[in-house]
């Protein structure tokens, strides 16, 4: 799938491709994508993607995985 990136995402991509160092990533930190897209809130799909269908797919996927994660911790390993 070819993701349709926002202008901000395209600009970040261009800077990286040109070898420029970024002071910080505008779309996430160092704690990994899962934390950044869920609990950390640093990776906001609305700021990265422009296509409504792609946004819905990403948001639905996060919701499904979050539900799975909650079930693992609540039902399988509740002591964590």
Q: Is the pTM of this model over 0.75?
A: no
Q: What is the pLDDT of residues 29-59, one digit of tens each?
A: 666 778 888 887 788 899 999 999 999 999 9
Give CA–CA dist 28/44, Å, rounded. Answer: 9
At 24 the pLDDT is: 74
- Tell me the CA distances in angstroms from 16 to 2, 21, 32, 72, one per residue in order: 19, 7, 18, 37
Tell me the average pLDDT of the chain: 85
Mapping DSSP to helix (H, G, I), strand (E, B) and coil, where does residue 68 land? helix
% the chain with pLDDT above 90: 39
Given this model, what pLDDT does residue 80 score?
Answer: 56
pLDDT recorded at residue 28: 65
């Amino acid at each position: 799938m070819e993701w349709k990136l926002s202008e901000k995402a395209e600009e970040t991509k261009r800077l990286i491709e040109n070898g420029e160092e970024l002071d910080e990533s505008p779309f996430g930190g160092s704690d990994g994508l899962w934390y950044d897209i869920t609990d950390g809130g640093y990776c906001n799909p609305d700021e990265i993607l422009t296509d409504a269908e792609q946004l819905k797919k990403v948001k639905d996927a996060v919701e499904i995985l979050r539900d799975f994660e909650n079930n693992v911790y609540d039902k399988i390993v509740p002591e964590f």
